[in-house]
Structure 1
Amino acid sequence: MKKAQFLTPVVTAFDENANLDVKGNQAIYEHLIQGGIDGIVVMGSTGEFFAMSMEQKKQLIDIAVSYINHRVKCFVGTGCMTVQETVELSNYAAKAGADAVMIISPYYFSMNPGDIEKWYGDIASQVNSDIYIYNFPDRTGHDISPEVTLRLLRQHKNIVGYKDTVEALGHTRALIELTKADFPDFVMLSGYDENLAHVLLSGGNGCIGGLSNLAPETFSAWVKAINEQDLCKIEEYQRKVNALMELYTINTPFIPVMKKAMILRGVPIQEKCIEFSPITAEQTAKVTAIMKKANLL
């Protein structure tokens, strides 16, 4: 079994005017680093990248890369609606010192396999960075198939990993099985927290999961148990994470729930999201109950 890793798709802290909260974001990064997380993914879906201007995105890249300072891995989500903007932001992140970029394909219009392959290929040929493909068919309307992925790997050495945000583990397993013979170092990561151990047992590498914003120490301990092959501890943390998964059901989208939960744990940020309202008092009570049950309060 490969060595496990868990990365956090970090929330983005804003002030009441929807400007970046520099100290708030730095506090979040420190919370995650001290919690033992393996890496931080800036501007993933949980980071509200879709609501940020290009100027804000570049500002956040500078804040994150300089503060994290290679203490843990720092990936940056750079997927935009066009190849040109994606290349621009990806190369900005690379020049700033990010360890890799994570690129979601365009959303709104579904894309056929040939267009998906061309889109990623055009980007990979112009980006000076390691690239992680981000597959999230529930949001993009299309799936980046194992076959397309394998063809991209054969053409572009800087495509080094893949985040698979699908509930069906069989999809991730098919990706692993199709690519591992020719590309044994290709990094396969789940997008669902609870699937960490399952992905490792199937030959993958780990997870990028939003719950680690709240409890990084839980996920770093789970990674440690997996790497030490401590079956009792693995089961213990699997059950803890299974219980925490209920947080995802409280509100759509999940981001305001996570910000409120982090505030309840003492992370000094505001609830502000660019496009989403704070959760209600009733929802906050549900969050509090789950956190108390998980000994997070």
Structure 2
Amino acid sequence: MSAPPQGFYVPAVLFFDEAEEFDFASIKAHILRLAEGGVTGILVQGSNGEAQHLSHEERKEAIRFTRETLDSNGFQNVLVIAGTGAQSTRETKKLCVDAKEAGATHVLVLTPSTWPPQMSPENILRFHREVADASPIPTMVYNFPVVTAGQDLDSDIIATLAQHPNIVGTKLSCGNIGKLHRLASTFPASEFAVFAGRSDLFLQGLMSRSAGTIAASVNLFPKVHREIYKLFREGRIAEAMELQAQLGHADWAVGRIGGIGGIKAIAQKHFGYGGKWVRGPLKHVEYDALTGKHVQKIEEMIKLEKSL
């Protein structure tokens, strides 16, 4: 089983109408803007895709619609990865099967978090191995303490999982560059791809041998990420670091103005599609009501994005 290719991926937001039903026109517009911006792949139902707020049928439909939109518009080379995190091993296995049927090539699996006291290292290993054994497509380990009740898988656990033949990568949203470097320097990216889970670690991760990034701010700035990746591959590190510094400030700013709701509000304001609606208990964001330095950093980066 092969790892996802190196590059930059987006955990895409999913747009709803005011009744919290899929807004397919806006979802399509977003998918195409991301593909035109050069993304290597789209992660459907990552943490920004509100996976836990969707039914099984909705999750499958979102994957299918993403794959069909890409294929029918000449972007067959853009991968679709599906988030399949759930609170039981049984349900996670089912979501992996659904993901393959809907057109995903890989799945990204969160560690269950309902019963953190019972999630010993041995139980974490058992869970991910059982899912990987049953999954019809390669799996990746998703480490994001914020959404897994503080569980933070260390490099020893992830390195042990990397030896499973159907576990081919990891997304590290913990922001631990030391962990990333240890894993990326242990395994070839073609066999086990280590992705930074944040844009403010994109270049630093690449310099530490990561396979790239899967990061929320790619929703807004795909061309900026493309430019950093291009500069890195050309060996123009000083220029890449300058651009990375600007991206780091913008990435921080995006996180301060409302998370998923903030990303949707920015897209609506600056790219002319979508809406602010999220599924509860998340809160929507009124972009025009925002002020201060964070909005300034975002708008500076939007201007750069549109110039590329």
Q: TM-score, normalised by structure 2?
A: 0.88
Tell me whether 28-37 or 89-98 shows the greater mean CA deviation: 89-98
Within 5 Å, give how 1:1-297 maps onto structure 2: 5-69=7-71, 70-110=76-116, 111-140=119-148, 141-154=150-163, 156-177=164-185, 179-180=186-187, 185-252=191-258, 254-275=259-280, 276-280=282-286, 284-286=290-292, 288-294=295-301, 295=303
> Secondary structure at 1:122's aligned position in 2?
helix
- Sequence identity of aligned pairs in percent? 25
Tell me if the contact between 1:37 and 1:220 (Cα under 8 Å) persists in the aligned partners. Answer: yes
Structure 1: 5+ residue runs without aligned partners?
Answer: none
> Secondary structure at 1:265's aligned position in 2?
helix
Tell me if the contact between 1:250 and 1:283 (Cα under 8 Å) persists in the aligned partners. Answer: no
Q: Distance in 2 between matches of 1:161 and 1:206?
A: 11
Number of residue pairs aligned between Structure 1 and Structure 2? 291
Aligned CA-pair RMSD? 2.0
1:121 positional shift: 0.9
1:205 positional shift: 1.0
Tell me if the contact between 1:31 and 1:267 (Cα under 8 Å) persists in the aligned partners. Answer: no
1:16 positional shift: 1.1
Q: Distance in 2 between matches of 1:160 and 1:136?
A: 17
Q: Distance in 1 between matches of 2:299 and 2:158?
A: 42
Q: Distance in 1 between matches of 2:264 and 2:233?
A: 30
1:21 positional shift: 1.3
Q: Distance in 2 between matches of 1:288 and 1:142?
A: 32
| Structure 1 letter corresponding to 2:232 | I
Tell me if the contact between 1:38 and 1:220 (Cα under 8 Å) persists in the aligned partners. Answer: no
Superposed CA offset, 1:113-163 (max 9, x none): 001000011111110001111001232121222222233233x31111100
Tell me if the contact between 1:28 and 1:267 (Cα under 8 Å) persists in the aligned partners. Answer: no
Tell me whether 128-137 or 285-294 shows the greater mean CA deviation: 285-294
Q: Distance in 2 between matches of 1:107 and 1:139?
A: 8
Superposed CA offset, 1:38-96 (max 9, x none): 11111000111111111211111111121123331111111111111111111111122
Q: Distance in 1 between matches of 2:65 and 2:218?
A: 20
Measured at CA, do residues 209 and 158 of structure 1 come closer, stay the same or move farther in structure 2, by a change above 3 Å? same
Tell me whether 145-154 or 69-78 shows the greater mean CA deviation: 145-154
> Secondary structure at 1:151's aligned position in 2?
helix
Tell me if the contact between 2:254 and 2:298 (Cα under 8 Å) persists in the aligned partners. Answer: no
1:168 positional shift: 2.5
> Secondary structure at 1:243's aligned position in 2?
helix
Q: TM-score, normalised by structure 1?
A: 0.91
1:203 positional shift: 1.7
Q: Distance in 2 between matches of 1:60 and 1:278?
A: 21
Q: Distance in 1 between matches of 2:147 and 2:63?
A: 24
Q: Distance in 1 between matches of 2:17 and 2:124?
A: 37
> Secondary structure at 1:285's aligned position in 2?
coil
